[in-house]
Amino acid sequence: MYRAPIKDLTFVLNDLIGDAALGGCARFADYSAELGASILEEAGKFAEEVLVPLYRAGDTQGARWTPEGVVSTPGFKAAYQAFADGGWNQLASDPEFGGQGMPRLLGTAVVELWAGANLAFKLCPMLTQGAIEALDLCGTPDQKQRFLPKMVSGEWTGTMVLTEPQAGSDLGQIRTRAAPAGDHYRLFGQKIFITWGEHDFTPNIIHMVLARIDGAPAGTRGISLFIVPKFLVGEGGAIGARNDVQCLSIEHKLGIHASPTCVMQFGAGAGAEGYLVGEPGRGLEYMFVMMNAARLSVGLEGYAVAERAYQQAAQWARTRVQGRPPVAATEGPAPIIHHPDVKRMLLTIKANTEAMRALAIYAASQLDIAAAHADEGRRAAAQARGDLLIPVVKAWSTEGGIESASLGIQVHGGMGYIEETGAAQAYRDVRITAIYEGTTGIQANDLLGRKIGRDRGAAMAALLADVAHELEAIVEGDPAVQAAKRGALEGVAELAQATKSLLGLLGNAQDRALAVAVPYLKLTGTVLGGWLHAKSAAIAARKLAAGSADADFLRGKLATARFYAEHILPSAEALARVVQGGGAAVAEVDATLI
């Protein structure tokens, strides 16, 4: 049974980051630690009481498609209605369109609860939020007024419609065409892998579709973005006739069975009516607004499922009696949580989850500052840092989620491989997260090429300087704090040297640099996780010294920080060695030999 990790989330929000981080952001003046705690508490109740009961049933029954193109998922429609009625879809949206205007860092914490409780359900509002952000930034005043209020309220949902059978990550190969038709366009084409592209939750679905206007140039420069509603929308948001949009089928997947992954046909007849967003040819640029929001949200899916896997594995380990550990309180068999290797596996999941959670919420706080701080220089610096961290959060956290879910199965032993225990579902569900919204390799290429290469490492250098300064300021006392600080500082030095090495390769041996892009991304995540664990340990030690009543929780923070420093951070040295010397071993191999 999943329990919302409210205490851990509150620690990150209020102690590790603190609401003072949003000082200078007038837009968030009403936000406070007390308000955040209240919202988290209610979100936890909704996750546990409404979403958790549908988790297993959604997996075993799955989404259902009919030849008429109707898609339903047992129990999910009522849950979604409760979600919308509760105002959860409005949390971080613009108050101008009915949103509550809460900061992204709180929204990130809340969305973790949806993902941990029921990942398949969480995907629908995630995509709606991405569509809202793209329209809010790039849409016309009429488009915003026509579509945003009902999308923000949750009365309508939204999708991202990119992929085609011949165009996966290479969106320049898109063939869906848009023919001008007066004040709108008619779209013709087929799209695949459209998450929640059809459902019975709401009376309308607003598709954000990439297509090529007739006569546009080939490649990415010819791609535009269109609003294509399932039902046409009149003045004041009135729903009109059915548009020429149909779900042809849904995919049969490894996991997230309750989330329909649709094959969508646009324009089987006269063409699907669509409305151009922004300028022609800038569709991919606008779609990246949605994708950036989605990449942060997918990253949190990784550690949200890791949290679920940890809770389930720990509970199993506390009750499963097998063998006698080397040191046992009683004679005979004991719960397996006393076995050293089981403790190691659980600590690995726990320490990685806490590191990934802290980094994602920190990245979200940077995006808040970038959007709302009064000082232009602070906004620019925060935007650069947020952009730098997005691919790390997305890829490092999802890879970590997969590893954690796999370890969760391992803790269960043979019973973990049996579906009835439920351990396998977490692994099956989380496996997709490292693939969609850009694979781990694509995120690593983005980190290296667009983020490190474009500014010659300036944003990374600024981040590492701040990290080193914060680490040096930590007062050592508790042995766990000392170990965490020492390990994190060593990691920072290794990451700085690896970055310098890669910058040299980008200029004259780009293939060798890209060959170690994924190890570099993992190095970055691992080192930043060490920094945040060291800060957490220092905070926990201070609170314990001050006589905090929550001593067990704080001692747990110290234990996980020490474990991370001594078991996980040492991998940074190996990753740095790969980054600095391993590129040629890939780049120089003839592809015919593989």
Q: Domain with 195 in it: what CATH number?
A: 2.40.110.20
Q: How many CB atoms lie within 10 A of CB 308?
A: 32
Q: Token pair 């929001």 is at which residue?
A: 293
Please check whether residues 111 and 206 belong to one and the same domain: no
* Number of alpha helices (DSSP H) and beta strands (DSSP E) in the chain: 19, 12
Please check whether residues 523 and 553 belong to one and the same domain: yes
Please check whether residues 196 and 224 belong to one and the same domain: yes
Q: How far is CA 317 from the centre of its chain?
A: 28
Q: In this structure, is residue 333 part of a structural domain?
A: no
- What does the alpha-carbon distance between residue 441 and residue 463 come to, in Å, rounded to a whole number? 23
The two three-digit tokens of residue 458, written as one number:
């300036």
Please check whether residues 449 and 513 belong to one and the same domain: yes
3-class DSSP state for residue 157?
A: strand
Q: Pairing relation of β-strands 157-161 and 64-65?
A: unpaired
Q: How many residues does the chain have?
A: 594
Q: How many CB atoms lie within 10 A of CB 319?
A: 10
Please check whether residues 453 and 577 belong to one and the same domain: yes
Q: In this structure, is residue 132 part of a structural domain?
A: yes
3-class DSSP state for residue 224?
A: strand
3-class DSSP state for residue 208?
A: strand
Q: How many CB atoms lie within 10 A of CB 559?
A: 16
- Rounded alpha-carbon distances, angstroms, from residue 262 to 99, 318, 564: 29, 41, 40
Please check whether residues 126 and 199 belong to one and the same domain: no
Q: Pairing relation of β-strands 239-242 and 245-250?
A: unpaired
The two three-digit tokens of residue 330, written as one number:
């009683």
Q: What CATH number should be reported for the domain holding residue 100?
A: 1.10.540.10
- Rounded alpha-carbon distances, angstroms, from residue 405 to 225, 424, 506: 37, 8, 35
CA terminus-to-terminus distance, the chain? 45
DSSP letter, residue 243: P
Tell which of 153, 174, 208 closes a domain: 153
Question: What's at 575, amino acid-wise?
Answer: L
CA angle, corner 56, sides to 401 and 120, nearest 5?
55
Please check whether residues 191 and 248 belong to one and the same domain: yes
Long-range contacts of 320-328 (CB under 8 A, 24+ apart): 320/412, 320/413, 320/415, 322/413
Cβ atoms of 534 and 568 closer than 8 Å: no
Cβ atoms of 147 and 119 closer than 8 Å: no
- What does the alpha-carbon distance between residue 131 and residue 230 come to, in Å, rounded to a whole number? 14
Please check whether residues 45 and 85 belong to one and the same domain: yes
- What does the alpha-carbon distance between residue 56 and residue 428 come to, in Å, rounded to a whole number? 12
Q: Pairing relation of β-strands 157-161 and 205-213?
A: parallel
3-class DSSP state for residue 118?
A: coil
User: What pLDDT shows up at residue 356?
Assistant: 98
Q: In this structure, is residue 331 part of a structural domain?
A: no
- What does the alpha-carbon distance between residue 504 and residue 498 come to, in Å, rounded to a whole number? 10
Tell which of 153, 173, 204 closes a domain: 153
Q: Token pair 């730098």 is at which residue?
A: 388
Q: In this structure, is residue 65 part of a structural domain?
A: yes
- What does the alpha-carbon distance between residue 156 and residue 164 come to, in Å, rounded to a whole number? 24
Cβ atoms of 55 and 309 closer than 8 Å: no
Cβ atoms of 354 and 533 closer than 8 Å: yes
Cβ atoms of 211 and 277 closer than 8 Å: no
- What does the alpha-carbon distance between residue 506 and residue 460 come to, in Å, rounded to a whole number? 15
Please check whether residues 109 and 163 belong to one and the same domain: no
Could you give the angle at which helices 119-138 and 423-430 cross, rounded to 10 degrees?
A: 20
Cβ atoms of 227 and 242 closer than 8 Å: no
Catalytic position from the list 112, 273, 399, 437: 437
- What does the alpha-carbon distance between residue 520 and residue 581 come to, in Å, rounded to a whole number? 12
Task: Print the domain residue range for 195.
Answer: 157-282
Please check whether residues 132 and 204 belong to one and the same domain: no
Tell which of 119, 153, 187 closes a domain: 153
Mean pLDDT in order along the chain per 10 residues (594 residues): 96 94 95 96 98 98 94 96 98 94 97 98 96 93 96 97 92 95 97 97 97 95 97 90 98 98 97 97 88 91 98 97 77 89 98 98 97 97 97 98 98 96 97 96 95 95 98 93 97 98 90 96 98 98 95 98 98 97 92 92
Please check whether residues 137 and 176 belong to one and the same domain: no
- What does the alpha-carbon distance between residue 373 and residue 89 come to, in Å, rounded to a whole number? 24
Please say if 437 is a catalytic residue: yes
- Rounded alpha-carbon distances, angstroms, from residue 273 to 361, 458, 509: 39, 45, 47
DSSP letter, residue 328: -
Q: In this structure, is residue 178 part of a structural domain?
A: yes
Q: In this structure, is residue 470 part of a structural domain?
A: yes
Q: In this structure, is residue 326 part of a structural domain?
A: no
Q: Report the domain count for the chain.
A: 3
Please check whether residues 134 and 165 belong to one and the same domain: no
Torsion of CA 318, 320, 323, 328, to 10 degrees: 20
Q: In this structure, is residue 416 part of a structural domain?
A: no
